[in-house]
Amino acid sequence: MKFLTDEKLTIVGAAGMIGSNMAQTALMMNLSSEICLYDPFEPSLEGVAAEMVQSGFEYAHITYTTDIAEALKGAKYVVSSGGAARKAGMTREDLLKGNAEIAAEFGKAIRANCPDVKHVVVIFNPADITGLITLLYSGLKPSQVTTLAALDSTRLQCALAKHFNVRQYEVRNCRTYGGHGEQMAVFASTATVAGEPLTKLIGSPKLTDEQWAQIKQDVIQGGKRIIELRGRSSFQSPSYLSIEMIRAAMGGQAFGWPAGCYVHTDKFDHVMMAMETEITKDGVFYKEIKGTPEEIAELEQSYGHLCKLRDEVIEMGTIPPINKWNELNPHIK
């Protein structure tokens, strides 16, 4: 059996719907001969591990543990879906505080147990923030931590394919940048539909301004829509896409969508956000985002929202003020 790598891949949150799907996806892709499943919830974790070996993935060495130190020891690649889900009665702030603290613990655990890790993908919400916190506490380089941001772009692709009644692959280069949810910046100028620039179609009878506004709205509400339909948060698409990201970081097939990463430019700094990126064996590299002046203005607004969210976490005390970040992680300038 040929694996992409023999270096250890650890899946954090493996007992959950996303984590267990990540495990299966990674095994199906033959990513690593050494896969460790971690979750604090013992019986479910054992159940997931049992399902994996009972699927006949007999060549990979699949281990599981409820001990985070053991799970991360020697890990070269880590994907984490290990946040808490929003429960009834919880405010958005409760969730933010809870997951921010989980991310801080996760970052510290990386620093303590696998400082030589090569790449970490963080996907628990709000991923821009949990990824940033993980980066700060882990002491890793900004190029070593990415967050899942692709789903907004694939949702845009799907919505356009549906509207124009074309096959999905005929809609190319759909891009959303910046934050997620209400705060994302949906770009039109990057995309083509059956070879035609989307910007030329918007405002024509083929795609009126109202219809385009509705599509943008649907993309923004995409996650909510899955909850309405399935009665649960999406889990197959985020897990699949995040495993595609770690595959790229292992030197496998290129990842074709935006990824969340730490940015440090004149305009944007001290946040993690969805960028145009390349993920390679050497980590994530972002490129300058190009768009119309309106799109760039939207992106700046999205960035502003992310800064506010980050400042909330600073106020909560989960991360120090920006001017102290360098003390926590010398790779942050």
State the residues that interact with its own copies by CB under 8 A: 1, 20-21, 24-25, 28-29, 43-44, 46-48, 50-56, 58-59, 61, 150-151, 154-155, 157-158, 161, 167-169, 222, 225-226, 228-231, 234-237, 240-241, 244, 256-257
Task: Report how far apart, in Å, the C-alpha atoms of 304 and of each of 2, 154, 163, 175, 311 are.
Answer: 46, 24, 31, 19, 11
Q: Which two tokens stand for residue 139?
A: 């002491």
Which CB, 103 or 250, lies closer to its own copies? 250
CB 221 to its own copies: min, Å: 12
Minimum distance of its own copies from residue 59's CB (angstroms): 5
Degrees (nearest 5) of the Cα angle 150, 293, 179?
A: 30
Residues 6+ apart with CB under 8 A from 90: 98
Q: CB of residue 122 vs its own copies: minimum separation in angstroms?
A: 19
Torsion over CA: 261, 136, 132, 251 (sign): positive
One-character DSSP codes across 58-108: -SSEEEEES-HHHHHTTEEEEEE---PPPPTT--HHHHHHHHHHHHHHHHH
Orientation of helix 236-249 relative to helix 150-164, angle to 10°: 120
In the complex, least distance from residue 14 CB atom to its own copies, rounded to whole angstroms: 12
Nearer to its own copies, 4 or 332 (CB): 4
Q: How far is the CB of 142 from its own copies (least distance, A)?
A: 25
Query: Given the complex with its own copies, which of 62 and 120 has the nearer CB atom?
Result: 62
Give whichever of 133 and 156 is closer to its own copies, judged by the CB atom: 156
At closest approach, how far in Å is the CB of 50 from its own copies? Answer: 6
Closer of 113 and 239 to its own copies (Cβ): 239
Q: Which is nearer to its own copies, 27 or 332 (CB)?
A: 27
Query: Which of 282, 300, 153 lies closest to 222 in space, CA to CA?
Result: 153
Give least dist CB 152 to its own copies, A.
10
Cis peptide before 126 (omega within 30 of 0): yes
**263 in Cβ contact with 141 (< 8 Å):** no
Confirm if 64 and 47 have CB atoms less than 8 A apart: no
Nearer to its own copies, 46 or 70 (CB): 46
